[in-house]
Chain A
Amino acid sequence: MNAPIIELADIRKTYYEGTAVATEVLHGINLTVRAGEFACLIGPSGSGKSTLLNLIGLLERPSAGSYLLKSRPIQQASDDERTRARLDTLGFVFQFHHLLPAFSALENVMLPGLMREGAFTQQQRANAQQLLGAVGLAGAMHKPPNELSGGMQQRVAIARALALSPDLVLADEPTGNLDTHSADEVFALMREFNVNRGTAFLLVTHDPRLAERCDRVIQLRDGTIVGDAPQQRSR
C-alpha cells in the first residue's frame, strides 16, 4: 500500500452563527487518501463536501479531530506553515477555473513556481510549456484566460495545479460548468496525470457518470461518510 498523504481522524467542523447558534456540519470524519489514488467525493448539496475539501486543502481549520498531512499534524500549525504546506503538497482546481486574468495561460501555470522561487525562471517556463502541451494547449499558451473557452481554462487550471508536482490535487466540481464533451476531456486529462505521474486526485462531483469512473467513491451525507468503496477501474 502506498504511503498516506492525508489522514483524518474524527474530524468535526462547527460553524457559529452569531454566538448562540452552533451548527455542526461534519460529524467525525475518518478518511485516508494515499499516494496515487484517484478518488471522488459525492453527496447531495449541503452534505459538507466543500467544507471537507476546504479542511483537507488547509483553507479552513477543523473544530475537533486530528489531521495528518504526510504524517505531520497540521491543524494546529501557523497560517504561514499551512500556506507553505499548500504550496508544496497540494494543488487546487476549482469549479469556476479561477485563472488570474492579468496573466497569460503560460504565466498562470508558472505562478506556483514564482511563489516558491521568487522569480520567473527558464525551468518553470519549460515545465509550464510541457504541462500545457500535455493538456493540449500548446497553441494557446500566450493567450489571456478570457480568450479561452471554459474547457480550455479548466485545462490550464489543471496544468497550474500540477506545476509543482503536488502529492494530491483537490478538485471541487472541476467539470461542474462544462458541457459533456469538455467534461470528459478534462476528466480524462486528470486520469492521465494520475496514471502517468502518480499524482493523487480527490474530486468533488455531482456527476454520477464521472463518479463511476473513479477508483474509489466516498459518499458523504449530512456530514458523515456513509459509503467508501473501491471500484473496478474502468475508463
Chain B
Amino acid sequence: MGFEWVVAQRFLREGGMQTLLIMAGTTIGIAVIVFITGFLGDMQRDLIKRTLGVQAHIVIRPAEEVARPLRDAPATATALPQVQARVQRLRSVDQWQALLPALEATPGIIAISPIAAGPGIVTRGDVNKTVTIMGIVPAPYVAVTRFNEKIVSGDLRLDPGDVLIGTDLAKDLGVGLGDKVRLSTPTSPGDAYQVRGIYDLGIRNLNRAYAYVGLAPAQAMHALPGGASSLELAVDDLFGAERFAARLRGTMPHEVESWMQANPQLLAGLSNQTVMTLLVRFFLALVVAIGVSSVLVVAVVQKTKEIGILRAMGASRGRILRVFLLQGALIGATGALLGSACGYALTFVMSDILRSSDGTRLFEARLEPELYLYTLLAAVVLGLVAAMMPARRAARLDPAQAIRV
C-alpha cells in the first residue's frame, strides 16, 4: 500500500483549496453529527433521570384485584345490573421472598429492591403532612435508584427509628438532622422517628412526597407483616426495559410495569426525538458523502493525464483504484478526528448554555471514547463508499487516451 498511500496524500495536498474545503465540510458535518448524537444521548439519559426521579426501571406489584360476578348463577337468581370495581387494598407481592433468587439469577437484572410503601402522615407539633411512607433496604435500593446521590445532608442509614425526608418537607416542618418527627399510618397510631438524612430529588413535589424508613418498621406500620408491596428492579439496558418486563410478565402472576409503561408521554417524546435526530444525522452523512464524491469526481478529471502516466509507468488498475479510495478514506478520517473534537467542544459549550428552570445544566458534556471510535469507523467507511464511483472511473481510464488529453 506504500505507493497508494504516498500518491493519495500528494494528490490531496496538491488539491489545495479543493481539499481544504471538502475537509472543512466533512468536519462540520461530522461535528454536528457527533454533537447531536452525544447531546441526544446525554439529554435523554438526563431527562429520564430527572423525570423518573427514584422510579425503578421495572416494578413488580401484586396483580390488581378484580370483581368476579357470578356469571354461572342459576337462572332463578337475579342478575346484577351493575358491577362495582373492587377497591385495591394494600397487599404484598405473593411469595416475594421465593421470587428473589429466581430474579437474581436472571441475566440482565442488576439489582432488586423490596419496598413496603403505603400512605402515612408526618407530624411535627400541630403540622401534618401526608406522605408515602417507603420501607426500604438501603443497599439494594441504592443499587436500583442510586438514591445515595440524592442525599444532601446526613447519611443513608436506616436503623430502627430513623427516617429520611426531602428538603422541601424538612423546610415545611422546620426540621433538620437529628430532629424528631412522628410517623403514623391509617393502621398504626404512630411513633417518633429521628431525621437521619435529607434528600433532594430535584423536583419539589417529590421532595415532599416520601418519607423513607427501614423495611421492617414500614411493614409493621402498613400492616404488611413480612410483606413487600412491590419489588423494584434495575436492568442493564434502560431502553430495553419494556422488552424485559414483557418477558417477566409471562413467568409470574404479578403485574410487571416498566418505566416506559409508567411514563408513556415521556417515552413517546423520546422516541420522536430519536427518530428526528436519526433522520437529521442520516441526511447530514448523505450530504457529506455526496460532497466527497463530487470533489473526487472533479479530481479524477483534473488528474486524467497523471493517471495515464502512472498507468504507463506500471501502476495497475487496482493501484489507481486504491489511490482514490484512500483519498476518500483520508478525507473521512480527517473529518472524523477534527469533527469529533469540534463536536465535543460544541457539546461542552452548549451544556453550559442550556440550563433547566432550576439553573442546573440540562445535560453534562461527557467524553465518550466509543462514540468517537464509531464516528471514525463510520466516517472512513463513508469516505470509501463516497470514493467508490470516482475511483472506479479513474481505474477504468484507458492510459493511451488519458496521456493524449
A residues at B contact (CB < 8 Å): 54, 57, 59-60, 79-80, 83-84, 86-88, 92, 94, 98, 100-103, 111-112, 114-120, 160
Contacts and interface: CB of A to CB of B under 8 A. Distances in A.
A125 B14 CA distance: 22
A94 B305 CA distance: 12
B6 A120 contact: yes
Contact of B399 (A59, A88, A101): A59
Contact of A114 (B2, B305, B317, B318): B2
Nearest to B313: A112
Contact of A60 (B3, B10, B310, B400): B400
Interface string B164-196: 000000000000000000000000000000000
29 contacts: A54-B400, A57-B312, A59-B400, A60-B400, A79-B317, A83-B311, A83-B314, A83-B315, A83-B317, A84-B316, A86-B313, A87-B313, A87-B314, A88-B314, A92-B312, A94-B309, A94-B403, A98-B305, A98-B403, A100-B306, A102-B10, A102-B11, A102-B14, A111-B310, A112-B314, A114-B3, A115-B314, A116-B314, A120-B2
Given A94-B403, A98-B403, A118-B1, A80 B317 contact: yes
Contacts of B1: 118
Most B C-beta atoms less than 10 A away, residue of A88, A92, A115? A115
Nearest to B9: A102
Contact of B313 (A79, A80, A111, A120): A111
Nearest to A163: B313
Nearest to B319: A115
A118 B312 CA distance: 17
Nearest to B315: A115
B13 interface: yes
Contacts of A86: 312-314
A56 to B, nearest CB: 12
Interface in B344-386: none
B313 A92 contact: yes
Interface in B71-93: none
A84 B315 CA distance: 8
Interface of B: 1-3, 6, 10-11, 13-14, 305-306, 309-319, 399-400, 403
Contacts of A102: 10-11, 13-14
Contacts of B314: 83-84, 86-88, 112, 115-116
Contacts of A84: 314, 316
A114 to B, nearest CB: 5
Given A59-B400, A87-B314, A114-B3, 17 more contacts: A54-B400, A80-B318, A83-B316, A84-B314, A86-B312, A87-B313, A98-B403, A100-B310, A101-B306, A102-B10, A102-B14, A103-B10, A111-B310, A114-B2, A115-B315, A116-B314, A120-B2
Question: Top 9 closest A-B pairs, CB basis?
Answer: A87-B314, A118-B2, A102-B10, A102-B14, A59-B400, A119-B2, A83-B316, A86-B314, A54-B400
B394 to A, nearest CB: 14
A172 B58 CA distance: 80
Contacts of A112: 313-314
Contacts of B318: 80
Nearest to A91: B313
A160 B314 CA distance: 12
Most A C-beta atoms less than 10 A away, residue of B305, B314, B318, B399? B314
A112 B309 CA distance: 11
A79 B311 CA distance: 11
Given A98-B305, A100-B309, A115 B3 contact: yes
A15 to B, nearest CB: 12
Contacts of A87: 313-314
